[in-house]
Amino acid sequence: MAFERTLSILKPDATNRNLTGAINDRFEKGGLKIVAQKRLRLKRQEAERFYEIHAERPFYRDLVAFMTSGPVVVEVLEGEDAVSRLREIMGATDPEKAANGTIRKDFGLSIEKNSVHGSDSRENAQREIAFFFSEIEICP
């Protein structure tokens, strides 16, 4: 077990349907603490940079368009094994393949509009947290 931080983004499909409280409730009931949170609208260049590891994937352009289509809520979550814990709570990328009781199963609309992002490794969590937050904004 490792005490870690990870990054989550509540995506435009979730903010548009007023689901931010319901999703935060899943995080908190799942043992994760929200230690930083802000609502913002990503500019195209910011979304392109955040998702640059997917730049060659066929869904990249649509993903950037979707992520800039409305507000997002970016959050730092903290807890034991936070990176893998968040991925369990979110469920598989495709809501149709996600396990029962996961966020993406219950709220996701499609493989793109899957309501929530979570860092996929400790290294990426550090990069993604630094992308949105300075240390002074993170309050355990």
Residues serving a catalytic function are 117
Binding positions for ligand CMP, 28-67, rule CB under 6 A: 54, 59, 63
Judged by CB under 6 A, which stretch of 28-36, 42-50, 107-115, 126-134 contacts ligand CMP? 107-115
The least distance separating ligand CMP from the CB of residue 136, rounded to whole angstroms, comes to: 26
The least distance separating ligand CMP from the CB of residue 33, rounded to whole angstroms, comes to: 21
The least distance separating ligand CMP from the CB of residue 22, rounded to whole angstroms, comes to: 18
| Residue 114 contacts ligand CMP per CB under 6 A | yes
Q: What are phi and psi of 5, to 5 degrees?
A: -120, 150
| Residue 5 contacts ligand CMP per CB under 6 A | no
Helices within the chain (DSSP H only): 12-16, 20-29, 44-50, 60-67, 82-90, 103-107, 122-132
Cα 61 off chain centre by:
18
| Residue 112 contacts ligand CMP per CB under 6 A | yes
CA pair distance 86, 32, nearest whole angstrom: 8
Distances (CA, A) of 62 to 14, 43, 58, 86, 140: 17, 14, 8, 25, 35
Cβ proximity to ligand CMP: between 26 and 117 the closer is 117
- Strands lying side by side in the sheet with 116-118: 33-40, 72-80, 3-10, 116-118
| Residue 77 contacts ligand CMP per CB under 6 A | no
Binding footprint of ligand CMP on the chain (CB under 6 A): 54, 59, 63, 93, 111-112, 114, 117
